[in-house]
Amino acid sequence: MKQIEIIISPEGGSRIVSSGFSGRSCLDATRKLEEALGQRLSQTLTPEYHEHTNNQTNNEQRQ
């Protein structure tokens, strides 16, 4: 199941956490939310992002 969670701290900071996505689809799904919330200070990519990217790279190298 794909899920996007927006966490707002008492100090006003925000964080977007996505799960259930693979590869760049999480970035595409959260792009508009990021734009609405303001400037990104940091980004941490999940293992699912890297797994899809690594599999895609391996497949491209075999061709």
- Residue 63's SS3 state is coil
* pTM (2 d.p.): 0.66
Helices (H) and strands (E) in the chain, counts: 2, 2
Give all strands (DSSP E) within the chain, no chain letters.
Answer: 3-8, 14-19
The predicted-structure confidence for 10-49, as pLDDT tens digits, reads as follows: 998 899 999 888 888 888 999 999 999 888 888 888 888 8
Banded pLDDT at 52 (limits 50, 70, 90) = low
Given this model, what pLDDT does residue 11 score?
Answer: 92
63 against 47, higher pLDDT: 47
Domain boundaries, the chain: 3-62
